[in-house]
Chains A and B, each alone.
Chain A
């Protein structure tokens, strides 16, 4: 197959809305969106609390969280694998090689990003708002809802960054999902497998979808910061 033919076949897959192809795309989105949602529900309040809290060892926690933003996906996958494998502490749940396991692994990847970026955003806002919020009686954790709301545009970007990381990674979902056809096969794991098998059109078609997704994420992030700038003055 020459390159032109590969591109044509890949295009046909995308445009033709091939069911197997769509199933892979939709599983990828389901796993990644669930992971981002869960990481957001945990990470936004936790990051804000970390921004306002003062305790011994706080800087150490911040450094570790910042470092975890660069946690290699395969390592995250390995950790979840060890937890969920038959002999692991959560083995009895029988979650290994299921989409749920993939979501858990991706939460582990996205959470540090959400917490670290939320912490930074909220800390900057607090420095600016502190006098007024304390004046109207919003001290400590009572200030968190205000700060999260007023940081909404920056925080949307943080969630999109998490989404970008999760949707692009292959190591974690491959290890804990097992790349089972029709069940735990995502865009990235399929690309890995099909490229080595030589089914280049499918790999390329999924690659096109991934690139489009990345573009869309960045467009939305750009839009969010533009709208944010309007409100920030």
Chain B
């Protein structure tokens, strides 16, 4: 019951592609995302790359619906009825003050999954991400890497077609980072479309199928990863790759 239902659903009425059309976001009179325009088709891993303050996190939040664009539109190919079918994992894992299992079960309950089904899906998610033995521990006592793994397991249990991750490894040590990266590659192989932000060039090179390069709120470059890393078209991206562009 893991990969198949997701792809089966996709054949019927996928929420993808996601179309972002001239989306802007302003706060306090400042334009933080300016005229973003791109689509996210099904499959693969898209990396939002760029220095701090480029608008990566805001763009993900706009796509996921946590923020409303001040102009422009964000459209899904199909309205997904009651369940959302896209989920998000945050930079700092948000762990409820409950057990590991209860953290997953809570998200399922919020999505309207019946109690009887929650138990099985919780176990399935914890087993899939190697947290089966931790089910009854308080989630907030897990290590940083385990917490992020639980956050991903929790999002995965909702069976999203598209998973957003906002700098998922920026607070983790190299070992935990590698583990999360392997997990993400596994999710893509499973057929889940992944869109994540990072400012870690090495990570982008290891994971990305496609790169959206942002700078000062603007989408400067949209290219497949090989092309981008072989020779970016824009001066900003070249400076970023050379390690010269911090802001």
How many residues of A are in contact with the other chain, CB < 8 A? 18
> Which residue in B110, B141, B158 is a CB contact (below 8 Å) of A138?
B110
Contacts of B84 in A (CB 8 A): 137
In the complex, are the beta carbons of B66 and A135 less than 8 A apart?
yes
How many residues of B are in contact with the other chain, CB < 8 A? 19
> Which residue in B87, B94, B141 is a CB contact (below 8 Å) of A128?
B94
Contacts of A120 in B (CB 8 A): none
Indicate if B111 sits at the interface (CB-CB under 8 A): yes
Indicate if B88 sits at the interface (CB-CB under 8 A): yes
In the complex, are the beta carbons of B87 and A135 less than 8 A apart?
yes
Can you name 14 extra interface pairs (CB under 8 A) apart from A129-B96, A135-B87? A128-B94, A131-B90, A131-B94, A135-B64, A135-B66, A135-B88, A137-B84, A137-B111, A146-B106, A146-B110, A150-B96, A231-B97, A231-B138, A232-B140
Least CB distance, B145 to chain A, in whole angstroms? 14
Q: Point out which of A132, A133, A138, A231 has the most chain B C-beta atoms below 10 A from its C-beta.
A: A132
In the complex, are the beta carbons of A232 and B97 less than 8 A apart?
yes
In the complex, are the beta carbons of B140 and A150 less than 8 A apart?
no
Query: Can you list 22 A-B contacts with CB-CB less than 8 angstroms, sorted by A residue number?
Result: A131-B88, A131-B94, A132-B90, A132-B96, A135-B64, A135-B66, A135-B87, A135-B88, A136-B87, A136-B111, A137-B111, A146-B96, A146-B106, A149-B98, A150-B98, A228-B97, A231-B138, A232-B97, A232-B140, A233-B138, A233-B140, A233-B141
Contacts of B64 in A (CB 8 A): 135
Indicate if B107 sits at the interface (CB-CB under 8 A): yes
Q: Which of B128-185 contact A (CB under 8 A)?
A: 138, 140-141, 158
Indicate if A54 sits at the interface (CB-CB under 8 A): no
User: Between A and B, how many residue pairs show CB distances below 8 Å?
Assistant: 46
Indicate if A230 sits at the interface (CB-CB under 8 A): yes
Q: Which of B54-110 contact A (CB under 8 A)?
A: 64, 66, 84, 87-88, 90, 94-98, 106-107, 110
Indicate if A58 sits at the interface (CB-CB under 8 A): no
Alpha-carbon gap, A205 to B97, bound state (A): 42
Q: CB-nearest residue of chain A relative to B96? A: A150
Contact code string B34-64 (vs A, CB < 8 Å = 1, else 0): 0000000000000000000000000000001
In the complex, are the beta carbons of B140 and A231 less than 8 A apart?
yes
Could you list which residues of chain A lie within 8 angstroms of chain B, going by C-beta atoms? 128-129, 131-138, 146, 149-150, 228, 230-233
Least CB distance, B102 to chain A, in whole angstroms? 10
Least CB distance, A128 to chain B, in whole angstroms? 7
Alpha-carbon gap, A136 to B98, bound state (A): 16
Rank and list the top 7 A-B pairs by shortest CB-CB distance, nearest first: A233-B140, A132-B94, A136-B110, A150-B97, A231-B138, A233-B141, A231-B97
Least CB distance, B59 to chain A, in whole angstroms? 15
Least CB distance, A190 to chain B, in whole angstroms? 42
Alpha-carbon gap, A134 to B90, bound state (A): 12
Least CB distance, A124 to chain B, in whole angstroms? 12
Q: CB-nearest residue of chain B relative to A132? A: B94
Q: CB-nearest residue of chain B relative to A134? A: B66
Contacts of A231 in B (CB 8 A): 97-98, 138, 140
Least CB distance, A123 to chain B, in whole angstroms? 16
Q: CB-nearest residue of chain B relative to A129? A: B94
Least CB distance, B134 to chain A, in whole angstroms? 13
Q: CB-nearest residue of chain B relative to A228? A: B97
Alpha-carbon gap, A225 to B138, bound state (A): 15
Alpha-carbon gap, A132 to B90, bound state (A): 8
Contacts of A128 in B (CB 8 A): 94
Contacts of B138 in A (CB 8 A): 230-231, 233
In the complex, are the beta carbons of B90 and A136 less than 8 A apart?
no
Contacts of B98 in A (CB 8 A): 149-150, 231
Alpha-carbon gap, A135 to B111, bound state (A): 10
Least CB distance, A16 to chain B, in whole angstroms? 46
Alpha-carbon gap, A131 to B89, bound state (A): 9
